[in-house]
Amino acid sequence: MSLLEITGLRAAVDGKEILTGLDLTINPGEVHAIMGPNGSGKSTLSHILAGRDGYEVLAGSVRYDGADLFALGADERARAGIFLAFQYPVELPGVTGMNFLKTALNATRTSRGESEIDAMDFLKYIRARAAKLGVSDDMLRRFVNVGFSGGEKKRFEILQMAVLEPRLAILDETDSGLDIDALKVVAEGVNAMRAPDRGLLVITHYQRLLDYIVPDHVHVLANGRIAASGGKELALELEEKGYGRFLDAAA
Amino acid sequence: MAVSSTPRRKHMQKNHPPLSASHPAAAPHLPGGPLPWLGRLRSEAIASYQAGGLPSRKLEDWRNTPLDHLNSLNLTPVELATPTVIDAVPVWQRDLVDGHSAVFVNGRYYPSLSRLPDLPDGAAIGSLADLLETRPDVVEDHIGRLATIQGHAMAALNTAYLGDGLVVFLPPGTVLDHPLHLINIAAPTQDAVAIQPRHLLILETGSAMTLVESNGGLGGTAYLSNAVTEVSLAAGARLQHVKAQLESPNATHLATTAVSVGEGAHFDAFTLNSGAALARQETYVNITGRHGAARVNGAYLAAAGRQQDNLTRIVHDTTDSVSRQNFRGVIDARGKGVFQGKVLVKRHAQRTDGHQLNRVLLLAPGARIDAKPELEIYADDVKCSHGATAGELDDGALFYLCARGIPRPIARRMLIEAFVGEALAEIANEPLRQSFTALVREWLDEHIGVPA
Ligand SMILES: Nc1ncnc2c1ncn2[C@@H]1O[C@H](COP(=O)(O)OP(=O)(O)OP(=O)(O)O)[C@@H](O)[C@H]1O
Ligand SMILES: [Mg+2]
């Protein structure tokens, strides 16, 4: 069974149609990349999958693990294993990173009928993952994303993914704002998550990320639909020639 | 009939505002009764109160604060009510702080439950009623110097009934290592009583202490607590005053704090207002000495149908003084908050550094905040600012939490707690901050709910 199956998805924001008939299937173990011009609807797609309010689904369906995704609220989707690394992570003044991660982890555990994680075990669990991503204890004691640099925010997103161990991770421009070293660290973190039962959807503008996280499939999102799909060589072609031909084709 | 009865009621109100007709009967029961200066002070005060009655909503400062319910409560001065006996301090109050305590029940000192510190020579902590017996001259020297009666009906009423409260006198250089906990317990009988504590803190040059104050009530009977606190800080003196107002749900809590800050002295106040049906904290700070500093911070939580008021007046009356105000309010559906904050910088008060911020979270439609931040500046070389915001919980933040698997009610609760936490962060003392955080959590448990 497919992990994610999007069929004929049309969606609007404030009466403006952004997704105009999008089809995409992701099977367990696969890594898909989506590239596309600014404003083509990449983040819109990721928000709709994560369950953000404010989007009107006009037509089509999304099945996750065989079931209707739209029947679930945002928190239920997350607990069912969908994770979105935000393009613009949100500041949470007053909420420390530790408290945030612990509450999130326990929400998933208790919904599965497991007990809340013991405080000492939690610390070990977090520290092991944070160290790999270069997230310091100090960052975890601070308020979530408040005063974080662009790169720190992205690393903290990936830490959340490592902590929650999702089945479908959507990374919305996780590479933007990262320096070369940080890009490697983050890519390693993502690659470590690759697993036969896990799917990955990587949204990016830069072919470079795909040198580190090598995708099985690359798609071009233009004018609200998948305009072309191919292997990793499609990313190289886009890098060279831009999006012109897909925009023309759709117009 | 309604038409003909209206003028008569008005007429009666004017002549007999609550607690004025009973004053002559109560006066002989007040401590320090025969002292002539005190008799004069009380008569002056009751006359001033009677002339205007309860503060009306026609007064700018009371525009959003109705006190009409006090007219119909049939308030009895606590001096004329059946005395109450209690045998323990409520647990939440007892556990608020680890330190010495001065317990007042219905405004009267309760020695059997109090635990006062051993003090160096010349220092005094105790009850105003006792001091009126032993050293009335000391009381006469200090009482009523800072809390103004004219134009302040509630302070006038308190002065008319002035009799007991906490007195602290610290001679130069005295530093108390442990916090002193002022515990005010309202224990009304069947009567709706009026309790009018009068506290006095005199900190001489270079002395310092932390005063934790908690206010709570037993049972559900309505009562009025109308307190006045006068604080005099001499050069280099430091007072940290952390107050929790958690009165009974039917109580009216009105409090006036008047402070004078001398050269290089520090007044550092935090007030948590979350109890009572209607609560109002008025804080008047006069910075008269160079490099004097005042921090006046607070959190106010207004549950459905309740009202929490804050009024601050910081007067910079000298050069190089500093004031900081950071208030956060959380207002639930049908709750109401009022913030009237003023920083006044006099003409000669150059290099004043004064900032004020009031931020409010409205939890539901029908939650209401009336905010009036004011800067009145007559000096030309100052750094001053004020800000006020009011809004709902941030959708983006809620979604972010939900997208991590956190159920919406828990996410909401986390964000509210985080919002208030940024005011609680002003409490420098770590154990105290934790105690106050626990109080806020209890309020959230009760009014916002603990999601399963
Ligand atoms: N609330 C809104 N009201 C109107 N238009 C909106 C709203 N939100 C998004 N849009 C529009 O939807 C379109 C798609 O936006 P989206 O953020 O999905 O693009 P994107 O592909 O992620 O772009 P980028 O590469 O810049 O991140 C844009 O034209 C954007 O302006
Ligand atoms: Mg985007």
Distance CA B76, CA B195 (A): 9
pLDDT at A246: 85
Contacts of A38 (CB under 8 A, 6+ apart): none
| Reported confidence tier of residue B83, pLDDT bands at 50, 70, 90 | confident
| CA of A221, closest atom in ligand 1 | 21
| CA of A41, closest atom in ligand 1 | 18
Flag if B406 and A103 touch (Cβ within 8 Å).
yes
Distance CA B72, CA B252 (A): 13
Residues A31, A216: contact at Cβ < 8 Å?
Answer: yes
Distance CA A8, CA A225 (A): 9
Residues B22, B80: contact at Cβ < 8 Å?
Answer: yes
ipTM for the complex shown: 0.97
Flag if B419 and A111 touch (Cβ within 8 Å).
no
Start-to-end CA distance of chain B, whole Å, equals 54
Is B364 touching A (CB cutoff 8 A)?
no
Distance CA B65, CA B277 (A): 12
Nearest chain A CA: its distance from B398 CA (Å): 9
Residue nearest to ligand 1 atom 18, measured at CA: A41
Least confident of B2-16, B257-271, B414-428: B2-16
Write the DSSP string, B176-236.
-SS-EEEEEEE---SS-EEE--EEEEEE-TT-EEEEEEEEEESSS---EEEEEEEEEE-TT
pLDDT at B3: 37
Is A156 touching B (CB cutoff 8 A)?
no
Distance CA B41, CA A84 (A): 70
Residues B203, B268: contact at Cβ < 8 Å?
Answer: no
Residues B296, B265: contact at Cβ < 8 Å?
Answer: no
Across the A:B interface, residue pairs with CB atoms under 8 Å apart total: 76
Whole-number Cα distances in Å, A12 to A5, A9, A18, B11, B399: 19, 10, 5, 65, 19
Q: Which of A231, A221, A174 is nearest to A9 (CA)?
A: A221
Residue B4 has pLDDT above 90, yes or no: no
pLDDT, tens digit only, all 251 positions of chain A: 899 999 999 999 999 999 999 999 999 999 999 999 999 999 999 999 999 999 999 999 999 999 999 999 999 999 999 999 999 999 999 999 999 999 999 999 999 999 999 999 999 999 999 999 999 999 999 999 999 999 999 999 999 999 999 999 999 999 998 999 999 999 999 999 999 999 999 999 999 999 999 999 999 999 999 999 999 999 999 989 999 888 755 44
Residue B2 has pLDDT above 50, yes or no: no
**With contacts defined as CB-CB under 8 Å, which chain B residues touch A52?**
399, 403
Tell me the residue length of chain A: 251
Nearest chain A CA: its distance from B397 CA (Å): 6
| Reported confidence tier of residue B451, pLDDT bands at 50, 70, 90 | low
Nearest chain A CA: its distance from B369 CA (Å): 22
pLDDT at A247: 79
Of the residues A77, A103, A153, A157, the best mutation for testing chain B's interface (the one with the most B CB atoms within 10 Å of its CB) is A103
Is B124 touching A (CB cutoff 8 A)?
no
**With contacts defined as CB-CB under 8 Å, which chain B residues touch A100?**
401, 404
What is the model's pTM? 0.94
The better pLDDT of the pair A251, B351 is held by: B351
Residue B8 has pLDDT above 80, yes or no: no
**With contacts defined as CB-CB under 8 Å, which chain B residues touch A107?**
404-407, 410
Residues A14, A200: contact at Cβ < 8 Å?
Answer: no
Distance CA A14, CA A156 (A): 31
**CB nearest B418 (choices: A86, A95, A107):** A95
Distance CA B375, CA B356 (A): 9
Distance CA B260, CA B266 (A): 10
Instruction: Please state the rounded mean pLDDT for residues B221-227.
Output: 96
For A:73-92, CB contacts with B below 8 A are: 73-75, 78-79, 83-84, 86, 89-92
Distance CA B263, CA B390 (A): 36
Flag if A92 and B400 touch (Cβ within 8 Å).
yes
Residue B14 has pLDDT above 90, yes or no: no
* Tokens encoding B185: 């317990």
What does the DSSP 8-state code read for residue B119? -
Interstrand relation of A217-222 and A55-64 (parallel, antiparallel or unpaired): unpaired
Residues A160, B406: contact at Cβ < 8 Å?
Answer: no
Q: Which ligand is nearest to the CA of B395?
A: 1
| Reported confidence tier of residue B7, pLDDT bands at 50, 70, 90 | very low
Which residue is it, tokens 């709570």? Answer: B216
Sign of the torsion angle spanned by Cα atoms A141, A145, A149, A152: positive
**CB nearest A90 (choices: B397, B408, B417):** B397
Instruction: Please state the rounded mean pLDDT for residues B92-100.
Output: 94
Residue B108 has pLDDT above 80, yes or no: yes
| Pure H helices in A142-232 | 150-164, 180-193, 207-212
Greatest mean pLDDT range, A234-248, B77-91, B394-408: B394-408
Distance CA B285, CA B343 (A): 10
Instruction: Please state the rounded mean pLDDT for residues B421-436.
Output: 97
pLDDT at B15: 60
| Reported confidence tier of residue B6, pLDDT bands at 50, 70, 90 | very low
Which residue is it, tokens 């609200």? Answer: A224
pLDDT at B55: 97
Of the residues B328, B357, B361, B399, the best mutation for testing chain A's interface (the one with the most A CB atoms within 10 Å of its CB) is B399
Residue nearest to ligand 1 atom 1, measured at CA: A13
Sign of the torsion angle spanned by Cα atoms B150, B152, B157, B161: negative
Q: Which of B192, B175, B37 is nearest to B119 (CA)?
A: B175
Of the residues A84, A95, A106, A168, the best mutation for testing chain B's interface (the one with the most B CB atoms within 10 Å of its CB) is A95
pLDDT digits (tens, 9 = 90+) for B273-329: 999 999 999 999 999 999 999 999 999 999 999 999 999 999 999 999 999 999 999
**CB nearest B399 (choices: A52, A100, A103):** A52
* Tokens encoding B18: 């609550």
Flag if A84 and B415 touch (Cβ within 8 Å).
no
